[in-house]
């Protein structure tokens, strides 16, 4: 038993180790697409402290009216929470964007909504509500902010921005010039640290920007040609052959033999000498068609 106990123990240990590695790999790769409007890009400062913007993204299949929504900010310690925009207005299109900027932002000419009541600072938390402040829709904390979704996102440097990923495998490169550049910003695992990357060159987009991802047009069904029924040729009626009466054979009457009397010879000498008997020999001929039969007949009379 001692000889087999060690291999069994080692096998179980190896199996447990492999299972833990596999479990780590599975749980570390996670992705979740947002089902509501999210904060998709934030620039804290650019050429000045007030050069800032917040971009929203709508990953749903319908446009959303933002009337009455609220956007707030709070410092690292969480207090006080103040409004950047107390009551939003405007509509964000399906798979589209909505740009909110400070009135001193470089992006303000293309903004859908402009504010001037406050500024974003490092280590802040931004919150989006679908009402005056009760129903939280999305929240992003960065730097050393305490109020976050799980962990905080990085703090962008001046001229940089935080951008929400398109999917779990998105990188700063894929989002700025790679495969994810036009794929939207729908990654939302409720972990700010996992859901955002830092962009070196910000890309503010508004409600007039192209939707992302681009809608794939539904294929138009090509009507198949309805086959035209080919009329089958109607058979030409063949005339019923008229029965040709067969010739009724004419019966050829067999010739009735005609009795051809032969010439009466002169009286022959009386063969019965001494008797008063007179005899004659006559030749009788019978005709049968093409045949003729002749035979003698003896006629005798008493005198």
pLDDT by residue (tens digit) across 2-56? 434 444 444 444 444 444 433 333 333 445 789 999 999 999 999 999 999 999 9
The H or E element that residue 215 is part of is: none
Q: Residue 244 — pLDDT band, cuts 50, 70, 90?
A: low
Contacts 24+ apart (CB under 8 A), 276-283: 276/302, 276/303, 277/301, 277/302, 277/303, 278/302, 278/303
Q: Give the Cα separation of 107 and 100 in Å (integer).
A: 9
Q: Is the pLDDT at 108 greater than 50, yes or no?
A: yes
Q: Is the pLDDT at 150 greater than 90, yes or no?
A: yes
* E strands, 130-240, in order: 136-141, 161-164, 196-199
> Strands 113-115 and 97-102, how do they pair?
parallel
- For the record, the structure tokens of 137 come out as 């829709």
Task: Find, among 131, 91, 94, the residue nearest to 215 by Cα.
Answer: 94
- Residue ranges of the alpha helices (H) in the chain? 2-28, 172-176, 192-195
Q: Residue 287 — pLDDT band, cuts 50, 70, 90?
A: confident
Q: Of the ranges 140-149, 202-211, 254-263, which one carries the lowest mean pLDDT score? A: 254-263
Task: Find, among 214, 203, 151, the residue nearest to 172 by Cα.
Answer: 203
Mean pLDDT rounded to a whole number for the chain: 81
Q: Is the pLDDT at 252 greater than 70, yes or no?
A: no
Any idea where the domains of the chain sit in the sequence?
A: 31-199, 259-302
pLDDT score for 155: 94
The DSSP symbol for 209 reads: S
pLDDT score for 236: 61
pLDDT score for 214: 74
Q: Give the Cα separation of 297 and 285 in Å (integer).
A: 10
pLDDT score for 7: 45
Q: Give the Cα separation of 15 and 5 in Å (integer).
A: 15
- For the record, the structure tokens of 210 come out as 């192209």
Residue reference for tokens 């002169």:
266
Count of residues making up the chain: 303
pLDDT one-digit tens code per residue, 56-65: 999 999 999 9
Tell whether the torsion through CA atoms of 108, 109, 112 and 115 is positive or negative. Answer: positive
Please name the residues in contact with 204: beta carbons below 8 A apart, sequence gap of 6 or more. 41, 43, 53, 55, 99, 101, 107, 110
The CATH homologous superfamily of the domain defined by 31-199: Lamin Tail domain (2.60.40.1260)
Order of strands across the sheet with 196-199?
113-115, 97-102, 53-57, 38-43, 161-164, 196-199
> Strands 277-288 and 125-129, how do they pair?
unpaired
pLDDT score for 240: 63
Q: Give the Cα separation of 278 and 300 in Å (integer).
A: 5
């Amino acid at each position: 038993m001692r000889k087999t106990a060690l291999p069994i123990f080692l096998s179980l240990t190896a199996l447990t180790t492999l299972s833990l590695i596999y479990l780590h790999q599975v749980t570390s790769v996670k992705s979740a697409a947002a089902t509501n409007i999210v904060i998709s890009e934030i620039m804290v400062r650019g050429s000045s402290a007030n050069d800032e913007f917040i971009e929203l993204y709508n990953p749903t299949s319908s446009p959303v009216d933002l009337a009455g929504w609220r956007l707030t900010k709070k410092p690292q310690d969480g207090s006080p929470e103040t409004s950047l925009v107390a009551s939003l207005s405007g509509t964000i299109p399906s798979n589209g964007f909505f740009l909110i900027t400070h009135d001193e932002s470089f992006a303000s000419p293309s903004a859908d909504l402009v504010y001037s009541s406050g500024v974003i600072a490092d280590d802040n938390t931004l919150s989006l509500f679908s009402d005056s402040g009760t129903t939280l829709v999305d929240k992003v904390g960065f730097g050393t902010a305490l109020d976050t979704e799980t962990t905080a996102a990085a703090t962008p440097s001046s001229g940089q921005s935080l951008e929400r990923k398109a999917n779990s495998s998105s990188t700063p490169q894929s989002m700025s010039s790679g495969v994810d550049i036009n794929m939207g910003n729908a990654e939302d695992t409720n972990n700010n640290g996992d859901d955002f990357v830092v962009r070196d060159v910000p890309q503010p987009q508004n409600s007039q920007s192209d939707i992302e991802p681009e809608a794939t047009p539904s294929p138009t069904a090509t009507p198949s040609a309805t086959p035209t029924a080919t009329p089958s040729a109607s058979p030409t009626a063949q005339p019923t052959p008229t029965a040709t009466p067969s010739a009724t054979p004419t019966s050829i009457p067999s010739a009735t033999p005609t009795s051809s009397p032969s010439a009466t010879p002169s009286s022959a000498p009386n063969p019965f000498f001494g008797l008063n008997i007179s005899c004659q020999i006559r030749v009788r001929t019978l005709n049968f068609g093409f045949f003729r039969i002749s035979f003698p007949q003896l006629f005798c009379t008493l005198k």
